[in-house]
Amino acid sequence: MRFTPNLICNRDDIELAKRSDVVQGKMDSQRIVIAVDLDYFFAQCEEVRNPELKKKPLVICVFSGRTEISGAVSTANYVARKLGVRSGMPIANAKKLLSQNKESVFLPVDQDYYQTVSERLMQTIRSFSAIFEQVSVDEAFIDISAVIGNDFEVAAKLGKTVKQEIYRQEKLTCSVGVGPNKLMAKMAADFEKPDGLTIIRPNQVKAFLKPMPVRKLLGIGPKHEQKMEQLGIGTIEDLSKFDTGALSDAFGKNLGPHFKNLAQGLDDDPVRQRPVEQLSRIVTLKEDADSFWFEEDLRPLAADISDRLISLGLKCRAIGIVGITSELKTRSKAKTLTHPINSSVLILRNSAELFRDLFSSLATEHVRLRRAGIRVSVLSSEELGEEESEEQSTLTSFLSS
């Protein structure tokens, strides 16, 4: 665990926190939840990969392929945002907004690269608490109640430590919120961006929510906001005081009271572990490849994926490979395995076969790969398959001979 000395937490505290009876006891009383939200994640990953992009308007795009400017903006750095670029807007509109800025950069989404960075980040965040929930590629919650009780001073220090550790490891900033539940922790993380740290104690919840427009409340969409305006509800405070029966009539017997609870800062949704669906790693090759000569470059990727699977107690039933061409196009292949595995040897062996097949199928296209990656999926906690069991038995015999 990564705690600074003045956080008054030691390894015994953490091991105690992992006991289900202790965790449940703390959750039944006062909770403290930390929300971690990576700032403009895709664009920031590109800035880390190429620091020269930091001072330029940078737009990450989902190109449709119809034309050079068709598609939508995935995200943008804050330089581009200040010039009006927003997620979801057509790429053509973003280019018009930035037409006078000759340094503007438009890049395609590099999902495999971002996923690889995300998996490392989530491992770091997970290391701070036994109760962890990944919400998306760039957001997560941890419940630290079992570790520190209801001490928000220590929670604030821990939130700062999380930020420092993420920056130390990945050179990425994040916004962190600390609150008495997931709702308030998330709203705290959204309150100050980028690189923010906001703490909302239980006695500060009402004052924090009171002046905010109702659209700022998580779960309130444009249609909900429009209907609330018709009811005379403009702020979160208005919603918190509104008649419950009238809200039920307007939004339904479940959703109406739910909105009122949220407006009062109430949220009993626990931080819960979600199943890991896939793991991937990707590497930039020493030089562009038109044949499969880079098996040794894949070995660390296979080893890293294997270590991660083993640490999670998982095996995979499917392996895929991805190649990014010199023209930044994606080529991929995948296969379903007969038995679940988590051996780095078998992951590498299957990946190598897929890359050989890929190059064979691309022989007439003269394609060169700039980046290569491995992805495993269909994850489960099943027992080792026959193939892997036989290999491990052979390795054991070799090591003991």
- What pLDDT sits at residue 81? 97
- Amino acid at position 215, single letter: R
Where residue 195 falls (left for φ over 0; alpha for ψ -120 to 50; beta otherwise) is left
pLDDT for res 79:
96
CA pair distance 227, 256, nearest whole angstrom: 12
Domains of the chain: 5-40+113-206 (3.30.70.270), 41-110 (3.40.1170.60), 210-263 (1.10.150.20), 278-400 (3.30.1490.100)
Q: Mind giving me the DSSP string for 117-143?
A: HHHHHHHHHHTT-SEEEEEETTEEEEE
Instruction: Tell me which of 47, 119, 133, 139 is the catalytic residue.
Output: 139
DSSP line for 168-234: HHH---EEEEEESSHHHHHHHHHHSTTT-EEE--GGGHHHHHTTSBGGGSTT--HHHHHHHHHTT--
This prediction has a pTM of 0.76
Judged by phi (left if over 0) then psi (alpha if -120 to 50, else beta), residue 378 lies in left
pLDDT of residue 65: 75
Residue 230: CB atoms within 10 A of its CB come to: 9
Q: 3-state DSSP call for residue 89? A: coil
Instruction: With H, G, I as helix, E, B as strand and everything else as coil, classify residue 100.
Output: coil
Which pLDDT belongs to residue 29?
53
Which pLDDT score, from 0 to 100, does residue 277 have? 84
CA atoms within 13 A on the CB side of 124: 23
pLDDT of residue 2: 31
Element (H, E) at 30: none
Does the active-site annotation cover 139?
yes
Specify the DSSP class assigned to residue 235. B
Sequential pLDDT tens for the chain (401 residues): 232 323 334 444 434 444 434 444 444 458 999 999 999 999 999 999 999 999 999 999 998 877 778 899 999 999 999 999 999 999 999 999 999 999 999 999 998 889 889 988 998 999 899 899 999 999 999 999 988 888 999 999 999 999 999 999 999 999 999 999 999 999 999 999 999 999 999 999 999 999 999 999 998 999 999 999 999 999 999 999 999 999 999 999 999 999 999 999 999 999 998 888 888 898 889 999 999 999 999 999 999 999 989 988 999 999 999 998 888 788 899 999 999 999 999 999 999 999 999 999 888 888 899 999 999 999 988 554 444 444 443 333 323 33
